[in-house]
Amino acid sequence: METMTQDEMKQQVAEAALAYVKPGTMIGVGTGSTANKFIDALASIKDQLLGTVASSEATAERLRGHGIPVLTLNEALQQVETLSVYIDGADEFDPGKNLTKGGGGALTREKIVAAASDAFVCIVDQSKQVAHLGAFPLPIEVIPMAQSLVEQAARAIGGQPRLREGFTTDNGNIILDVYGLTITEPRQLEDHLNTIPGVVTNGIFSHQGADTVLMATPTGVQTIQ
Ligand code: 5RP
């Protein structure tokens, strides 16, 4: 039997997510290679959409390239109370549907758009499933002057922070990737890191965890509720 490539699995799960887009609603759209495949699939039903809110400049550009309407979150929330759904990938997910995100550096806008949405549908391939978050280095968006302060705090919890070289977020900040963490209490760590002055946000999505994970496998897409 031929096995499916990771790229083919991403394509399959991106198409499956279309079922979560309700006609006539405003939706949030994530960032990354899986989200890009979702955007391309979304083009086929663009006439049914009220609009979209993008979690990054790159996503906004790709949506507009397909002729899909993009609003800022502030514009959108003047028209609707909430976005009906946020659809995005992840770097890792655990059995509690807590996520690590930010591999693409868009974590802050992703968390904001997720918080404005009624539901978060996370689209991943099976390589993202873990028992505990942490094998994927945890991204933290940091205001540049606080770099050393946040590095000290990351070391204090047993992590090894590394500056993401040559990268600036859409918000003009840096990313520290923290290696070596085993995250058994995601909500506590998310809260703790977000109390450090200079941290904009960190890539643990526990408060904004997934409501539904669609996980592509070589034998089909599994729905984890
Ligand atoms: C970007 C993200 C992405 O969702 C995450 O990095 C997964 O990306 P991909 O779909 O390319 O594997 O959080 O900031």
172-201 per-position pLDDT tens digit? 999 999 999 999 999 999 999 999 999 999
State yes or no: pLDDT of 1 exceeds 60: no
pLDDT of residue 155: 98
Q: Using the mean position of ligand 1's atoms as its centre, give its distance from the Cα of residue 72 in Å.
A: 21
Q: Which residue has its alpha carbon closest to ligand 1 atom 5?
A: 90
In order of 20, 67, 90, 176, the CA distances from 43 in angstroms are 15, 8, 22, 34
* Cα 6 → chain centroid: 18
**Residues above pLDDT 90, as percent of the chain:** 98
Q: Using the mean position of ligand 1's atoms as its centre, give its distance from the Cα of residue 33 in Å.
A: 7
Q: Using the mean position of ligand 1's atoms as its centre, give its distance from the Cα of residue 9 in Å.
A: 14
Instruction: Give the integer Cα–Cα distance in Å for 180 and 2.
Output: 35
Q: Whole-prediction pTM value?
A: 0.96
Instruction: Give the integer Cα–Cα distance in Å for 11 and 78.
Output: 33
Q: How confident is the model at residue 2 (pLDDT cuts 50, 70, 90)?
A: low
Catalytic residue among 15, 92, 110, 141: 110
State yes or no: pLDDT of 204 exceeds 70: yes
**CA 95, 101, 107, 113 torsion-angle sign:** negative
Catalytic, 185? Answer: no
Q: Which element (helix H / strand E) includes 154?
A: helix 147-156
Instruction: Give the residue among 105, 78, 72, 99 at the shortest CA–CA distance from 210.
Output: 99
Q: Which of 91, 121, 130, 171 to mutate to test the pocket of ligand 1 (most atoms within 8 A of CB)?
A: 91
Q: Using the mean position of ligand 1's atoms as its centre, give its distance from the Cα of residue 31 in Å.
A: 6
Return the ligand 1 atom nearest residue 106 CA: 14
Q: Which of 10, 12, 33, 98 to mutate to test the pocket of ligand 1 (most atoms within 8 A of CB)?
A: 33
Question: What residues does ligand 1 touch, defined as CB less than 6 Å away?
Answer: 30-34, 88-91, 101-107, 110
Q: How confident is the model at residue 3 (pLDDT cuts 50, 70, 90)?
A: confident
Q: Using the mean position of ligand 1's atoms as its centre, give its distance from the Cα of residue 107 in Å.
A: 9
Return the ligand 1 atom nearest residue 34 CA: 10
State yes or no: pLDDT of 83 exceeds 90: yes
